[in-house]
Amino acid sequence: MSPTSILTSLTYTVRNFIMVGFILSALPALAAPIPFTSSSQLISEKNGIYRSPLGFSIHAGTSGWKPAAPTVKNDFVVATYKSDVDSSALTVRIDEIKKPITLDEYSKKWLKDYPRFGFDVLTAKKVRVGKEIGYMLDFVSPENKKQLRQILFVKNKNAVTLTCRGEQVGFSKTVRQCNEIIRNFKWN
């Protein structure tokens, strides 16, 4: 091998090494403080698309709501969407289930708990969201004047809970915007 070809080869090696180092040093800038949350690159800014490693996705659609960091530290909440107008929000929560359970069994478990927490259940029924069957719960807290809608989904050993929260007064508008997001839930 001639000295010129050795020098050329060495130059390419050094250049590639520098380029790889530069690329690797830029990766932390793309990282999220909490992976797969609204601050992660896995959520598209355009529509607030959240893609779960569990195979489901959801996005803000035409709701006008934006992805936001969760207001409370909760390891189970993986995505949050908030209204620009008021304190209304929709959260996406994932729970791992220890043993296989049906959607009906899972929802009945939660139905027993809500009255203990001071909520009055207004609606409890199965609903279709795209191709998925979920369980819808509407409830209100008379004490703090909050209203909530939850849609529960169960697949394999995972449960996904979409929770829409807002003030009881004006909740009909809030729930319409939440429904715009909920309609975009897909589990592959």
Predicted confidence (pLDDT) per residue in 96-139, tens digit: 999 989 999 999 988 988 999 899 999 999 999 999 999 999 99
Cα–Cα dist 136/118, whole Å: 18
Residues 9 and 61 both lie in one domain: no
Residues 64 and 129 both lie in one domain: yes
Query: What is the percent of the chain where pLDDT is above 70?
Result: 74
- Read off the pLDDT band of 63 (50, 70, 90): very high
pLDDT tops 50 at residue 41: no
Listing from the earlier edge strand, what are the strands of the sheet with 186-187? 50-51, 56-58, 186-187
Q: What angle do CA 185, 81, 106 make, to 5 degrees?
A: 50
> What pTM was estimated for this model as a whole?
0.75
Residue 153's φ and ψ, nearest 5 degrees, are: -130, 140
> Could you give the dihedral angle defined by the CA atoms of residues 9, 12, 17 and 21, in that order, rounded to the nearest 10 degrees?
180
- Read off the pLDDT band of 169 (50, 70, 90): very high
Which whole number is the average pLDDT over 8-12? 44
Which whole number is the average pLDDT over 64-77? 85
Which of 21-48 are b and which e, b meaning 16 or more Cβ less than 10 Å from the residue's Cβ? eeeeeeeeeeeeeeebbbebebbeeebb
Identify the residue whose tokens are 């008021």: 86
- Taking CA atoms, 40 is separated from 36, 58, 67, 179, in Å, by 5, 14, 10, 24
Residues 60 and 119 both lie in one domain: yes
pLDDT reported for residue 11? 44
If one compares 21 and 182, the residue with the highest pLDDT of the two is 182
User: Of 42, 43, 94, 88, whose CA–CA distance to 65 is shortest?
Assistant: 88
Cα–Cα dist 41/29, whole Å: 10
Residues 62 and 16 both lie in one domain: no
The two tokens of residue 52 are: 């779960």
pLDDT reported for residue 31? 43
The range of the structural domain enclosing residue 12 comes to 1-30
Total number of domains in the chain: 2
Residues 144 and 97 both lie in one domain: yes
Residues 77 and 105 both lie in one domain: yes
CA 6 to the chain's CA centroid: 53
pLDDT reported for residue 47? 63
Specify if 40 maps to a domain: no
Cα–Cα dist 91/102, whole Å: 22
Specify if 42 maps to a domain: no
pLDDT reported for residue 73? 77
Beta bridge partners of 118: none
Specify if 109 maps to a domain: yes
pLDDT tops 90 at residue 75: no
The DSSP string of 47-67 is TTBEE-TTSEEE--TTS--EE
